[in-house]
């Protein structure tokens, strides 16, 4: 059983990039011309809308599959369309696998005891085969140690990954995550919850799949967390549409150029919203190449 972390780093090395693409299919962001081609309007059924978001995902996957090691579907965009949306998510996961992409499922689950275990078993086990099986998932840790442990145990059992929301990219997070207890921020205390699981999940490259979500929008926090969790993989949102800059990205990596994956969703899926270009396979691919180039330049400068 090859660990998720080793599969991911192998793909990062082969494709020469730590960038991944978020799959956040929102009908209101898609070009009107494309929606017309799909016969989608305000009267369309949930089933038709769900099929449309799946078809849009296929266009994105075909554009970026050879460029990046993984994709990150955000579950909420699929749940919006009920059971039809879940089917679209299942088909998207399978389509990503068919293109040799790893899947980080952004579900941000968080509960305790048997409920946390049930959530973990919905997404992580390799056997029995489940349609929503992912290579890694995101979780929210604010119910404490008995919230994160069931997820860690299931991930370690199956060689999967967990990304704990430690210092997220949204501005409103500061009111919680930057509360101080003595001389430490709450996000530093949350990061300590990850440490006990690290030694049980170190792969051949010296990194653990038990990682943290660390936004590129807070460079100083990222620097602290990188020192605190040197062997953890960081999932780095906040790039592109959320405005995360070069310093925030750079702070999430170790000197070896590893230790983080940089995720961008809207800026890649919807290039027409950020330039005069239409959204199609070519412009989506170019948006991904632009992100890869930006991050490559940052890492080369760091090295």
d(CA 88, CA 92): 6
Residue tagged active-site, from 13, 15, 91, 108: 108
> Is 108 known to be catalytic?
yes
Judge whether 216 and 261 are in contact, CB under 8 Å.
no
d(CA 214, CA 228): 12
Contacts of 21 (CB under 8 A, 6+ apart): 60, 64, 68, 71, 72, 263, 264, 265, 268, 269, 288
Strand, coil or helix: what is 1?
coil
To 10 degrees, what angle do helices 46-64 and 82-98 make? 20
CA 148 to chain centre: 18
DSSP H/E element including 211: strand 208-214
What is Dmax (Cα atoms) for the chain? 58
Dihedral sign from CA coordinates of 46, 50, 51, 53: positive
Residues labelled catalytic? 108
């Amino acid at each position: 059983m090859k660990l998720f972390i080793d599969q991911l780093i192998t793909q990062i090395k082969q494709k020469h990039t730590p960038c991944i693409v978020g799959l956040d299919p929102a009908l209101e962001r898609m070009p009107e011309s494309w929606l017309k081609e799909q016969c989608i309007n305000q009267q369309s059924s949930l089933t038709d809308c769900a099929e449309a978001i799946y078809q849009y995902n296929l266009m994105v996957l075909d554009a970026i599959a050879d460029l990046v090691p993984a994709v990150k579907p955000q579950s909420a965009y699929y749940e919006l369309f009920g059971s039809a949306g879940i089917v679209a998510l299942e088909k998207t996961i399978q389509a990503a696998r068919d293109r040799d992409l790893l899947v980080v499922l952004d579900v941000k689950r968080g509960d305790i005891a048997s409920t946390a275990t049930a959530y973990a078993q919905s997404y992580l086990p390799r056997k029995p085969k489940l349609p929503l099986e992912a290579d890694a998932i995101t979780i929210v840790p604010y119910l404490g140690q008995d919230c994160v442990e069931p997820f860690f145990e299931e991930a370690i059992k199956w060689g999967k990954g967990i990304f704990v929301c430690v210092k997220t990219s949204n501005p409103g997070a500061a009111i919680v995550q930057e509360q101080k207890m003595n001389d430490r921020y709450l996000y530093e205390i949350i990061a300590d919850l990850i440490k006990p699981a690290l030694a049980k999940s170190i792969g051949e490259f010296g990194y653990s799949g038990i990682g943290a979500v660390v936004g590129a929008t807070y460079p100083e926090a990222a620097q602290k967390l990188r020192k605190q969790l040197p062997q953890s993989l960081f999932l780095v949102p906040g790039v592109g549409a959320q405005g995360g800059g070069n310093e925030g990205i750079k702070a999430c990596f170790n000197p070896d150029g590893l230790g983080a994956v940089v995720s961008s969703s809207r800026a890649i899926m919807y290039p027409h919203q950020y330039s005069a270009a239409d959204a199609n396979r070519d412009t989506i691919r170019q948006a991904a190449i632009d992100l890869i180039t930006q991050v490559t330049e940052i890492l080369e400068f760091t090295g």
